[in-house]
Amino acid sequence: QVQLQESGPGLVKPSETLSLTCTVSGGSISSTTYFWAWIRQPPGKGLEWIGRVYSSGDTYYNPSLNSRVTISMETSRNQFSLTLNSVTAADSAVYYCARLYAFGVAIPGIYALDVWGQGTPVTVS
Amino acid sequence: DIQMTQSPSSLSASVGDRVTITCRASQSISKYLNWYQQKPGKAPKLLIFGASGLHTGVPSRFSGSGSGTHFTLTLSSLQPEDLATYYCQQTYDMESVTFGQGTKVDLK
């Protein structure tokens, strides 16, 4: 049973860098079957896609965050990480890591977030 | 970006009611549409993938339908444990995945 766990500081000062890590247990992050993603949820608001990374290191980011965000793999530790630069109060949110899996036999695959971490709250203040 | 619009934003229903939530995409996304359930203080859970595929362990009272730009999530008989916020998500454009704004379901 794959499990994901976010970790990192819960408080970040404005203009500084937010850094979070997602540790994957029960499966290998190097598997070519999955993508790995970050999603956030500001207090009382909906879900916002941050971006995703593949085992090859290829990444795609939300265009609204593209200039400030980096997602990277740390395969030796079975982790992937999120870095968000120049944070403001608007970046305060619960941050989730999740696994993207392709269901069915369609080409291209129908990807969905099938395993999520519990989420970690981050406050910018 | 592909915009996802859910309706209604919230609804109140009684236990046993049939509940339908709609999600519309700003362009055709074929069947690349997923539904998630989120309870307060918890991470979202996958309910439906590919517009109509029931994820493992999800009760059969949940069903999804649609293709192109119009999709629906239906709860055939609302149960107390179904009180939550529901989100649709498109993965047609994997370079820029987007969610709907959510539909909160509570008890009348």
**Best mutation target, A22, A34, A48, A49, to test chain B (most B CBs within 10 A):** A49
Q: How far is B99 from chain A (nearest CA, A)?
A: 7
CA-based nearest residue in chain B for residue A37: B97
Q: How far is A65 from chain B (nearest CA, A)?
A: 11
Helix (H, G, I), strand (E, B) or coil at B15: coil
Question: What integer pLDDT is reported at residue B7 of this predicted model?
Answer: 98
**Best mutation target, A58, A103, A118, to test chain B (most B CBs within 10 A):** A103
pLDDT in tens, B7-38: 999 999 999 999 999 999 999 999 999 999 99
The burial class, CB within 10 Å (0-12 / 13-18 / 19+), for A84 is: buried
As a whole number, mean pLDDT of residues B73-81 equals 97
The segments of chain A whose pLDDT lies below 50 read none
Q: Which of A37, A106, A116 sits opposite B43 (nearest CB)?
A: A116
CA distance A65 to B6: 23
Residue-averaged pLDDT of chain B: 97
CA distance B100 to B105: 15
Helix (H, G, I), strand (E, B) or coil at B3: coil
The DSSP annotation for B46-101 comes to EEEETTTEEPTT--TTEEEEEETTEEEEEESS--GGG-EEEEEEE-SSTTS-EE--
Question: What integer pLDDT is reported at residue B102 of this predicted model?
Answer: 98
Residue scoring higher pLDDT (B107 or A6): A6
**A93 contacts on B by Cβ (under 8 Å):** none
**Residue A67 DSSP code:** T
CA angle at A80 for the pair B87 and B36, rounded to the nearest 5°: 10
